Structure formats: structure tokens, C-alpha cells
Chain A
């Protein structure tokens, strides 16, 4: 997309299956932060019986329970739309169940290894029985991305291993993240990001929304006054550090 030429197309994939933890939040925040900068946005919500458009600029996939995750993967594997968009340089943020789906494989609700979409070089499995990763997360982001530490909430049993083609999105200082025990959280490569910080991760990390917008528009963004986001961030950071200390 080039500013002044057309609308920015924001595509939210499968809200009927992958929107269990307020995932709509990320779509609303990207939309709002674009509009505040005078960028015209067209939001497209794609239901799981509809085709994923190839012409989007930013794609979002959210989290969901195990069965909807399997159904979503089954349907996305038959739809070349997202793969085509990513290969021509579209931006993608995938959260939790969505993060697992865009990797090479994950374990489904029937304990079967399911193929993913292979858009990010990661493989997911299930963590030890009885260990569910639930709670607050704090993580320092890959310096190359130039973001403040991520604050968020995780709720998953997945363990995600990174291949050579993906870098950790962040390193946790609190919480589990990828669940591999090496402190990594999420993964990224090119313009594709995956994270276990579920649901409305951008509510505490508006920088993540701006990163996607910068990638998609190709121009620097005017700064915004982030009064409430900042207050929420510092309140959560205090709470997590108090808990940890």
C-alpha cells in the first residue's frame, strides 16, 4: 500500500473460530491507530466459510480452543489466500492458536500432529501433562524490532520450537512464552510475527500495532499521545515485578 493511493486493508481471519480471548482488540487497535494518523482503513472480517482475500496489507489471526484451532487449520490449508499474501510481502500477526497454525505443525484436540501453513519456521507440540502456561508475561523484544518490552497474558499448553528460519520475538523475564525452557517467546521472520501473548496484546503494547502499520505503509508514523496505553503498561509492569520480586 502507498499512502494516498488506496485504503489500508486490514484482514481479520476467522473471528468465528479464532477469537476466544478478546482477539478483536488487535483489529480495533490497528484500525484506530491508523485512523488517528489519517490513514484510511478497510477492515475485512473473514468467516471460516469464506475465502481469505489476497490483497490485504495486514492480516491478523487470533487464538482459540483446541477444536476450533483444528477446524481453522483444516480450512486455511485449503485456501491459498493467506500464503499468497505473505509471499508478496503482506504483514501477518498470529496469536496463540493462530501462532501454532502458521508454523509447520501442531498437535490438535485429538492428539494428532496436524500440518500447519508453514508461513513461519516453527513447530509446536504439547507441553508436559498438567502444566498449563497461564498468567502474566513480561518479555524483552528482539532489539532489531525496536519495541518496548512486551507485557501480556498467556494461557496455553503449547510448546513451540523455532527452526533456523525464524528468530525469537522476545525473551521472557516473567512467564513461559514458547514453553521450551530457553526463555524465548514468539517468533518472527520478514513481516510475519507469532506470539503466545494472547488476545488483545496491543492494548498494553501499542508499539506492536505501529510496527505492523510501518511495515504495511512503508513510511514512518507520526507519534501518538498514548496516555491510557502507557498508564496501563506501567501499572501491569509494576504488578508483574511485584509478583516476581
Chain B
């Protein structure tokens, strides 16, 4: 194939990377070669390094690759990877989908994922919060999902409200339909600069980052599920989709039971959001939900794995909002819980957030503590009046737990380390 393609227009347009201009094609090839070398060297999937090389050769590659696709972007502090997966599943009811399913969510990882688009019609892309405005400009999406914004790795990330401000400026006047959480005032503030917003009542357990009005600084009132500023007219918008208990209510008022295999309120909210997105693309809600029900684990999260003759359920929680949602979905006491916390670069090096998490919710359970920063966690649990044991190795923590499935909650690199430890034991 040669010449300049006219993607997405007329009958049988050239699609996929084959239709790219020569420089972009070269970039895609280079990224694949680099990724393969990186994989062979045992350095992960190689998608990020491949994407970086490709973007150096053709800086507009992300835009060119996205040009062949109908794109959905998914962003927010928590739930991005799972929601991206659920949206991708739902969209498969309408046609082939390409997605950065492993969570490489910055421009290089996204570019690399899109380079493998094949005959995909839809691109469902997870985007890191900090890069959303830029990727939204390049990828020309038809829909953008805004899940939530809360404190996360404050020693290296932008302040939470500044992020909302960046979204608001970056999405001002966008042609995309926004699908946004009406229960998070910071998300509503960010989305209100757009023309077309589908508001979803997706809930928000963590409210400590939105007590002051993002518009005027006034104190927010939060009676029941509602919220409004006491000093200006900023308030919760009218929703069209909502999660009510275990059920989803669509814009026509029809009630859908959400019989997901993924656990917890947060995932029911993610599924509700995904159904709203699918509906923007004309995907039938019954078909979308049927596909979402098949998802059991996402990049290892929620996976139940055997280890040392026991069953461990692996749960990822990276910040106070994530821990709060996770505590609400684990099996009730006295199910044993193992907690693991690291503070490496990818986690943020400051552990002060541990004090924002209400660990008294774990009272009445056997608790075992692990991870590079287990002593920070030990002090936190001690001050909360809990009893616990502290261990260096997973095997010892597991041995300390009474019978029954063990809920294992870990932050980012601690989670990856646990998966590796378990994999090595299985080999």
C-alpha cells in the first residue's frame, strides 16, 4: 500500500498500520523490533521502550495510529485499568477492539498498544491522569471517561485540584462525549467545561479531597448522596445512568442487575460507567453487560491464586481512596488479611498516606503485615489499636493466617512483587 490514506471515510477505507505514511510505518516497525529485543532480554513486555523509540522517529505517531480508530479514553485516579477492560469487553459486541490492557498508560505505552491495532475498529485506551489533556488532543477521541480524582503519590504527582484544573482546561470545548462521575465534585468541575457530558452516579466513598468547592473555595455540603457548595451555585448535576445498590439504572429508568464476577461496589460503578460508554457507540446494554460478566481478573487484580496450599485473593490498592473501596469488598471478618506496602519510586516515597486510611475497618480479623515499609504499617495499625504480626516473607505471613481464603491487599510494587513470589513458587 502506498499513498496517503483517507481513514474512516467512504467505502472500504484502508485501515490499520498498513495504511500509515512511510515514516510512521518505519516507526511502528522499529517499535516492534525494540519491543521484541526488550522482551528477549527479559525486561517485561517491551511496550514502553518500543513506544518511546517509535515516538522519537514519528512524534505524531499516536495521532496517526488513533486516526484509524474510534477512540475511547479512560482516566481517573482509581479504576482505570478495570474500567478500560470492561469498556473494551462491551465494545467487542460491536467490533474488534485494540486496548492497552496491561495498563501502560502514558503516551509511549499507548502508542505501542495502538501499533498492534490490526483490524481493530475501536481503540479503548487507559490514560494516566497527568497525560489526559495531551492524549485527548492527539487521539481525537469520540468519548472520554472521567472516573474520579483523589490524592495519590503527592511527593511526585501534581496536587489533586491542579489536576482537575488541567483536565478542565484541556477538555474545554472538546468534540468528545464525556462520560463522567457526578458524585465526584472535582470530576464535575473538570467536565463542566465540555459541551456534551453523560453524567453517571458512580459513587465516591472517599470524600476528603473535595470538601472545598473547586469553583469558589466554599465548604461543600454533602447530605446523603447529594452535594452542593454553600457559597456558589456549583452542585451535583442531574444524572442519566446510576448505580443503586447492586443494580444499574439506565436513562430510560430500566433496572439492570449487575451480576459481575469482579467484586465490590467500585467495580459495579465501573461497569455502570462502561455501559454508559457502550451506549454512546450504540451498543445494546444487554449485550454489553453479558460480556462484562465474563471478566474475572484484570492484570492480576482480584485473581484468586493457590500458594502454599492456601487460596490468596490479590487486591491492589494504591492510595487512600483505593484502600477504602478495597476494605468494602473483602470477605467479612474473621477472614484473614495480609497487607503489604512498599515506598519505591513507582509507589511514591512518602508513606504519610497510611494515616489517611481507616484501618479500624479491619478490626476483628487476623492481620499480617509485609513489605519494604512494614514498620510504617505496624505503627499505623498499633495506633489504631489492632493486633497483627509482622513478616519479611509472604510464606511466613501466610503460615501465620488461620484457615480460609486470605485477602491480600498491596500497593503497586508490593503487588507486583507478590505476584512474582507466587509465580516462582508455582514454577
Contact = CB atoms under 8 A, between A and B. Distances in A.
Report whether chain A binds chain B. yes
B228 interface: no
Contacts of B382: 228
B43 interface: no
Given A25-B352, A155-B350, A71 B375 contact: no
Interface in A162-187: none
Nearest to B381: A228
A127 B155 CA distance: 17
A177 B380 CA distance: 25
B155 A134 contact: yes
Contacts of A203: 355, 376, 379-380, 383
Contacts of A20: 151, 154
Given A32-B383, A71-B212, A231 B352 contact: no
B356 interface: yes
Contacts of A47: 211, 219
Given A19-B208, A65-B161, A228-B378, A153 B352 contact: yes
A67 B215 CA distance: 12
Contacts, number: 86
B359 to A, nearest CB: 10
Contacts of A155: 154-155, 350
Contacts of A25: 352, 354-355, 380, 383
Interface in B175-228: 208, 211-212, 217, 219
Nearest to A32: B383
B209 to A, nearest CB: 9
A12 B154 CA distance: 22
B385 interface: yes
Interface in A130-162: 134-135, 153, 155
A148 to B, nearest CB: 15
A22 B355 CA distance: 5
Contacts of A15: 208
B155 A68 contact: no
Contacts of B331: none
B355 A135 contact: no
Interface string A222-235: 00000011011001
B389 to A, nearest CB: 12
A199 B382 CA distance: 18
A199 B352 CA distance: 6
A28 B358 CA distance: 11
Given A17-B212, A67-B161, A232-B375, A24 B155 contact: no
Contacts of A135: 349
Given A17-B212, A134-B155, A48 B219 contact: yes
B217 A71 contact: yes
Contacts of A66: 159
B218 to A, nearest CB: 8
Contacts of B94: none
Contacts of B354: 22, 25, 200
Nearest to B162: A65
Interface residues of B, number: 31
B350 A16 contact: no
Q: Which of B154, B230, B383 has the most CB of A within 10 A?
A: B383
Contact of A231 (B353, B355, B375): B375
B102 interface: no
Q: Which of B230, B354, B382 has the most CB of A within 10 A?
A: B382
Interface string B135-159: 0000000000000000100111001
Contacts of A215: none
Contacts of B384: 28
Given A47-B219, A203-B380, A32 B385 contact: yes
A67 B155 contact: no
Interface in A59-115: 65-68, 71
A24 B351 CA distance: 13
A68 B212 contact: yes
A189 B156 CA distance: 33
A15 B356 CA distance: 11
Contacts of B211: 16-17, 47
Given A49-B230, A155-B154, A229 B379 contact: yes
A48 B379 CA distance: 29
Contacts of B352: 21-22, 25, 153, 198-200
A240 B106 CA distance: 32
Interface string A21-44: 111110011001000000000000
A218 B356 CA distance: 31
Contacts of A65: 159-162
22 contacts: A17-B212, A19-B356, A20-B154, A21-B353, A22-B353, A25-B352, A25-B355, A25-B380, A28-B383, A47-B219, A48-B219, A65-B161, A67-B161, A68-B212, A135-B349, A153-B351, A203-B355, A203-B376, A203-B379, A204-B379, A228-B375, A231-B375
Q: Which 5 A-B pairs have the closest CB atoms?
A: A22-B355, A199-B352, A25-B355, A16-B211, A22-B352
Given A16-B211, A204-B379, 16 more contacts: A17-B211, A21-B154, A22-B356, A24-B355, A24-B356, A25-B380, A32-B383, A48-B219, A65-B162, A66-B159, A153-B350, A199-B350, A200-B354, A203-B376, A231-B375, A235-B375
Interface of A: 15-17, 19-25, 28-29, 32, 47-49, 65-68, 71, 134-135, 153, 155, 198-200, 203-204, 228-229, 231-232, 235
